């Protein structure tokens, strides 16, 4: 086996060939790149998997070097995953696509991709938007192809994230072929296509016994011919279909499509439906017979993105409506764990989630403290439990280490995270904040002190260990000092701010913004002051009084406060406010 390193090449591979980076020296992303430029830059891959010609010979500007590997024994260069991101609802993404996002160095994504999916990427992941909408293309197809090749040649793992399925009118085949032609390692990850999922979200199965035993998917986009846009649809063939016709990207030519089908003999009373922004909380549906479809859609103000369904199944409505707050938008802040839990709870209520999380957990590099003389271990957040358990794992400590210790927690969220690890809290205050935790726990310890004999080494004489964030409240330490109870504080982690993301989300104005901590609220408003931004539209929902106290420093309107410090209480608080203010206007 030949093992070698091509100095400075950062080459990419396919089959037995490695294509050196030097041949990309003249390449740059440029909207004016033509087909001839493309071929001269990247060449054509022959069927044998090399760049063409005899083995190892130069052809079309690329050189194939059979069997060359890095010193690690792996083929050199990066890899591109052409992944489908599903349609609309971020939860429709596949597990395989999520795994690719979690490990990628660069993600290149479209306008139809839910930005919630980007939360799966690492904090240092490069995010490149190349969104394409009707007559509003941020990047041309050749630009995108060149960008993917360039990033792979840099040795990066790249996810090309496309809406729906990359091979269903997503030009995924063109991108994959371009990667193959350039000798880039690549893999396709299928996605949930809007052609099936969006009708389903509106209660329309594309096939149904007795109504439709087939489905045809077409695109409603037009090609330019002599300066005019012409639909490339065979209306005569489509009008003869007995099954379901699904039309993607057809809203801009809806009237022409309706006229074309009617002129070709399609029954004017054929049931039809248009689903706008399907699978999201902003979903809107219009049902009408074919001859009225365009007029009905215009009356209701339906626009792209939307899916058009033509056929008997369009009259079905297999769906239950039980979402009293459906359609309102809520910005979710906080750490990833908190944001995930709150988003899941809100999504079940039909809320339109806006990811506004910009806080991150930064574990301390310090080892865990000696717990031998500690009677009580105190956790003040689920994040603290998470970091503590991970540090135990890294230090090769198991749960037997905690034998003989009692555990106190600040609230049910922290208790639940402990329970997941097989640990149960011995004390939790009725009011979930640092002051009530410290007061309640100190009362228990002082009561134990009165019961125990002088000189004994029971719970009352042992130390209390607070395992917390570096920026934690100073209230517990003050209370324990005043009551002369021995205690120690250990910072497991600190809360960091992703400033670039914070600066991006503060421009959003959803109906509500939910805060999971006082620090999160402070950082949010500091970012707004720094940018000179004012949000006069959103209402603020706080997890507790300390958080609300921070919000009051910046806004005049009193914030909403959850009755308990957990995500379900935040949801209940938001829903109650929505019911009280039924006339509260929302934007779609």
Q: Which residues does the annotation mark as catalytic?
A: 110, 132, 249
Of 18, 29, 24, residue with least CA distance to 145: 29
CA gap 311, 271 in Å, rounded: 5
CB 380 within 8 A of CB 518: no
CA gap 342, 568 in Å, rounded: 8
**450 φ/ψ angles, rounded to the nearest 5 degrees:** -65, -30
CA 407 to chain centre: 34
CA gap 587, 331 in Å, rounded: 14
Query: Residue 275 is inside which H or E element, if any?
Result: strand 271-276
Q: Is 404 left (phi over 0), alpha (psi -120 to 50) or beta?
A: left
Compute CA distances 237 → 121, 218, 297, 396, whole Å: 45, 12, 25, 68
Helices 141-153, 172-181: inter-axial angle, 10-degree rounding: 40
In the three-class reduction of DSSP (H, G, I as helix; E, B as strand; rest coil), residue 485 is classed as: coil
Token duo for residue 364 = 């301390």
Which residue in the block uniquely carries the two structure tokens 């420093």? 553
CA gap 292, 268 in Å, rounded: 8
Token duo for residue 311 = 């056929």
Beta strand 132-133 with 185-189 is: unpaired
In the three-class reduction of DSSP (H, G, I as helix; E, B as strand; rest coil), residue 269 is classed as: coil
CB 41 within 8 A of CB 26: yes
Token duo for residue 44 = 């054509």
What number of other Cβ atoms are within 10 A of residue 67's Cβ? 14
Burial class (CB in 10 A: 0-12, 13-18, 19+), 532: exposed
Which residue in the block uniquely carries the two structure tokens 């205050």? 429
Token duo for residue 424 = 């149960």
């Amino acid at each position: 086996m030949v093992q070698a390193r091509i100095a400075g090449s950062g080459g990419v591979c396919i089959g037995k060939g490695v294509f050196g980076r030097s041949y990309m020296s003249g390449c740059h992303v440029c909207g004016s790149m033509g087909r001839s430029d493309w071929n001269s830059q990247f060449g054509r891959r022959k069927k044998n998997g090399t760049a063409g010609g005899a083995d190892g010979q130069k052809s079309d500007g690329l050189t194939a070097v059979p069997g060359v590997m890095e010193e690690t024994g792996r083929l050199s260069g990066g890899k591109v995953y052409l992944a489908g991101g599903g349609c609309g609802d971020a939860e429709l993404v596949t597990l395989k696509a999520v795994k690719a996002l979690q490990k990628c160095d660069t993600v290149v994504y479209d306008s139809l991709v839910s930005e919630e999916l980007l939360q799966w990427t690492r904090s240092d992941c490069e995010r490149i938007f190349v969104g394409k909408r009707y007559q509003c293309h941020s990047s041309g197809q050749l630009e995108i192809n060149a960008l993917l090749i360039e990033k792979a040649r840099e040795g990066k793992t790249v996810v090309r994230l496309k809406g729906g399925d990359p091979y269903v009118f997503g030009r995924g085949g063109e991108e994959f072929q371009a990667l193959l032609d350039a000798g880039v390692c690549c893999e396709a990850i299928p996605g949930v296509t809007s052609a099936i999922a969006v009708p389903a979200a509106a209660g329309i199965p594309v096939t149904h016994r007795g109504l439709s035993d087939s489905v045809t998917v077409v695109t409603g986009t037009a090609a330019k011919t002599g300066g005019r846009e012409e639909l490339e649809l065979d209306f005569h063939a489509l009008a003869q279909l007995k099954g379901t016709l699904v039309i993607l990207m057809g809203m801009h030519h809806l009237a022409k499509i309706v006229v074309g089908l009617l002129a070709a003999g399609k029954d004017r009373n054929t049931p039809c439906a248009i689903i706008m922004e399907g699978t999201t909380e902003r979903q809107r549906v219009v049902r009408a017979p074919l001859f009225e479809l365009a007029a009905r859609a215009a009356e209701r103000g339906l626009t792209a993105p939307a899916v058009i369904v033509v056929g008997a199944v369009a009259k079905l409505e297999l769906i239950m409506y039980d979402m009293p707050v459906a359609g309102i938008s809520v910005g979710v802040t906080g750490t990833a764990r908190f944001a995930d839990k709150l988003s899941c709870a809100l999504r079940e209520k039909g809320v339109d989630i806006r990811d506004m999380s910009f806080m991150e957990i930064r574990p301390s590099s310090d080892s865990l403290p000696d717990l031998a003389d500690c009677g009580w271990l105190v956790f003040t957040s689920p994040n603290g439990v998470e970091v503590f358990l991970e540090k135990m794992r890294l230090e090769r400590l198991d749960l037997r280490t905690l034998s003989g210790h009692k555990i106190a927690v600040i609230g049910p969220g922290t208790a639940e995270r402990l329970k997941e690890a097989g640990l149960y809290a011995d004390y939790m205050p009725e009011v979930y904040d640092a002051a009530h935790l410290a007061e309640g726990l100190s009362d228990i310890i002082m009561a134990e002190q009165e019961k125990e004999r002088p000189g004994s080494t029971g719970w009352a004489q042992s130390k209390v260990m607070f395992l917390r964030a570096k920026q934690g409240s100073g209230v517990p330490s003050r209370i324990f000092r005043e009551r002369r109870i021995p205690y120690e504080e250990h910072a497991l982690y600190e809360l960091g701010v992703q400033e670039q993301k914070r600066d991006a989300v503060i421009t959003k104005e959803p109906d509500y913004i939910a805060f999971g901590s006082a620090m999160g609220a402070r950082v949010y408003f500091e970012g707004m002051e720094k940018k000179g931004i004012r949000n006069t539209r959103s209402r603020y929902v706080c997890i507790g009084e300390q958080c609300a106290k921070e919000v009051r420093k910046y806004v005049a309107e009193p914030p909403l406060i959850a009755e308990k410090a957990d995500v379900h209480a935040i949801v209940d608080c938001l829903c109650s406010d929505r019911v009280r203010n039924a006339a509260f206007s929302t934007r779609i």
